[in-house]
Structure 1
């Protein structure tokens, strides 16, 4: 029988009607056809959707990481003292003062250098000098005084700008020396009552906090009276200062009568034997008659309990207001009997010479000056330091 006999075709050939070459003879003999291979199994429907088939053998499902083996116990380490970083060096008062007055001194010294460099001294030169001194708010009288001192014996001569700066510092110190007076707390008066006054935004409440910190550092007991009853923020701010400095605070509701609160605070301070009572007041413009009358009422009410109170009435002045400070001193002096000045924000103006103008006109003691926001930036006023800082000179020996 031939190899192409249809009876001898393979299984698939017979099934699909396809001719196929006869397979090679096997060991079973030429007449025995090889066994047909079984078709591959058809997977069940559920198996077609199994993750193993979807991902394939090359992307097995991730397995949870095995828990790490516990680390062996560390050997005992001898105790070591903690390393404490060195604190930043505290800036000296002189450095804070010169940095705070840098705008004023820069305006003055630059102007002086421009005027006197390569130029002989004449009347026009002195007029230019007066102009820059007036722009720095030293005042007309002080500007004329300094220009006169510079011109004495130097007409038609070359003058070094450094010499002009030295004359400026000397004249300013002469004017300021009589008013540079510390605030003395009379220990026989308990409490020593300090009334703080000033216009809106002058820095009264912050200054009270700084003074409280200074008095507490000196070992004095301090009480604060939140007499700025117009502003809830002022009441809260004073409470914060009380917590920081360890001073007790007497306060009321917003809108409460300021004179009544001051009277209550004085009562409590007397009963407690407090050393210093600092009374805050609401900021008020010097030309507002009604508000100034209210301030006068505060003074009258506390004098019913202590005829000598307040023992000090400090006017807080914002240096950035310039010539307006002169009218503030006049008004508050008449209403509250101002006994001394505190000048703040000297670091925010190029017109810090207003302090010289105030000293020349009123002669009121200048107790403190402020050149920044921190507690350390309010210090007792020193005439020589201020004069040399304004003139751009180094620290006095």
Structure 2
């Protein structure tokens, strides 16, 4: 199955929650204040977010005034174009260039698929001929260290870990020093997804970031937040929290295949201005892909 078909299939629940409800609103009814209000409510309930929804509704109202929107097909076209515009602004893919080693700091709460996402990214880079080192900065969970080591083996990456409970900033430091001396291309640093309190976690991440900056000025070059699409608005809150603490440069949105809340992708981009760089639509290594806004919206509406 090609990726577009897989993406289309993974968006079935979101399509039902969003596109099919939009179709139901306008089928056999005229476009007026009542139906546009219903559309607004549908978008918000589908996790598209208040800012993105406001933009879409404003655009539709303007086009209705000009007589450019008069049936369900033109409504859907406007919706598609507005959604692509929201996602397109300052979108960038995950590419490692300009720095050696290129440092990626991966963050996110437990249970979002962070370690697996790191493993899949590492597999992609090594298959492209890059040398990768994985650093087990989630020293809070012994299982987290073991899981990352398994991914290091699977992806033909090098691996650095300290014992459980050790200082994650020291792991990051050692990893970068090792990568520099070995002439490696990429370092991906895993981090804890929980400590006893969220403030502790954020302070821990700030410390790791400061350590990385000291050992390699200008790094980390990518701070990638992994979020689980099935959590909807909670994903937006997590993105806000991590962004406030350490400044997120990109998002990997996982588990799109299991959710009706795929609309959250628009809310994250519009409310926080952080580009979604990777999307996960299944278990396979090839199911984590660069995010393409047009492809995503076309799959959602097809």
TM-score where L is the length of structure 2: 0.93
**Partner residue in 1 for 2:86:** 175
The worse-fitting range, judged by mean Cα deviation, of 308-317 and 283-292 is 283-292
Q: 2:241 aligns with which of 306, 331, 334?
A: 331
**Partner residue in 2 for 1:281:** 191
**Partner residue in 2 for 1:386:** 296
Offset at 1:226?
Answer: 0.8
1:303-359 deviation line (CA, Å, top 9, x unaligned): 221122211111111112212223222221232222111111111211111111111
Q: 1:269 aligns with which of 172, 176, 179?
A: 179
Q: 1:295 aligns with which of 174, 194, 205?
A: 205
In structure 2, the CA distance between the partners of 1:123 and 1:285, relative to structure 1 (3 Å rule), is farther
Answer 1 or 2: which has greater helix percent. 2
**Partner residue in 2 for 1:222:** 132
**Structure 2 Cα separation of the partners of residues 249 and 158 of structure 1:** 56
Q: How many residues are paired up?
A: 301
Alignment of 1:130-279 (within 5 A): 130-152=40-62, 154=64, 159-187=70-98, 189-279=99-189
In structure 2, the CA distance between the partners of 1:157 and 1:176, relative to structure 1 (3 Å rule), is closer
**Structure 2 Cα separation of the partners of residues 334 and 282 of structure 1:** 17
1:281-309 deviation line (CA, Å, top 9, x unaligned): 01038971112111111112222211222
> RCO greater where, 1 or 2, for CA within 8 Å and sep 6 or more?
2
Whether 1:348 and 2:274 are equivalent positions in the alignment is no
Aligned partner of residue 194 in structure 1, secondary structure: strand
CA contact (8 A) 2:227 2:253 kept: yes
Please tell me the root mean square deviation across aligned C-alpha atoms, in Å: 2.1
**Structure 2 Cα separation of the partners of residues 190 and 98 of structure 1:** 37
Alignment of 1:49-60 (within 5 A): none
**Structure 2 Cα separation of the partners of residues 237 and 157 of structure 1:** 54
CA contact (8 A) 2:51 2:271 kept: no
**Structure 2 Cα separation of the partners of residues 340 and 185 of structure 1:** 13
**Partner residue in 2 for 1:125:** 35
**Structure 2 Cα separation of the partners of residues 186 and 309 of structure 1:** 13
CA contact (8 A) 1:223 1:248 kept: yes
**Structure 1 Cα separation of the partners of residues 56 and 8 of structure 2:** 21
CA contact (8 A) 2:30 2:71 kept: no
**Structure 1 Cα separation of the partners of residues 69 and 244 of structure 2:** 48
CA contact (8 A) 2:130 2:185 kept: yes
Offset at 1:128?
Answer: 0.6
